[in-house]
Amino acid sequence: MAAQRDTNGRFVKGHSGNPNGRANKSREERYYQITQETVTLQDWQDIVSTAKQQAKRGDAQARKFLAEYLMGQPTQTVQHTGADKGPIEIRVIYDDVGSAFTETAPEAG
């Protein structure tokens, strides 16, 4: 059965994209336990060593795998600009004093 979505592509209330739901915690814990029992430290060292050699030969997947484990996923930065693609103007009005000031956000760089 296909998941029902609204005109914006979001799931309609009461209709999940995963009808079977999230796996229960005990099942996840069991998978984790099996992994710990099965994959030894030497196995992991071999996997990382192989990925390193593949990355050195230009394998993009291996580079991505190593980079994400060593440094984590890169953060995405978003630069906001004003309507004219210039700096954003911030205006704060103090009602109790009856005055206002304008400050321009510093440009990212």
- Given pLDDT bands bounded at 50, 70 and 90, which one contains residue 4? confident
Q: For 5-53, write each residue's pLDDT tens digit.
A: 888 888 888 777 777 777 778 888 999 999 999 999 999 999 999 999 9
> What is residue 55's predicted lDDT score, i.e. its pLDDT?
96
Question: Which residues are CB-contacts of 35 (< 8 A; sequence separation ≥ 6)?
Answer: none
The structure tokens 């205006």 sit at: 91
Answer for the pair 97, 109: CB distance below 8 angstroms, yes or no. Answer: no
Domain range summary for the chain, segments of one domain joined by +? 1-38
Answer for the pair 87, 107: CB distance below 8 angstroms, yes or no. Answer: yes
Q: For 72-103, write each residue's pLDDT tens digit.
A: 887 877 777 777 777 877 777 666 655 555 55
pLDDT at 56 over 80: yes
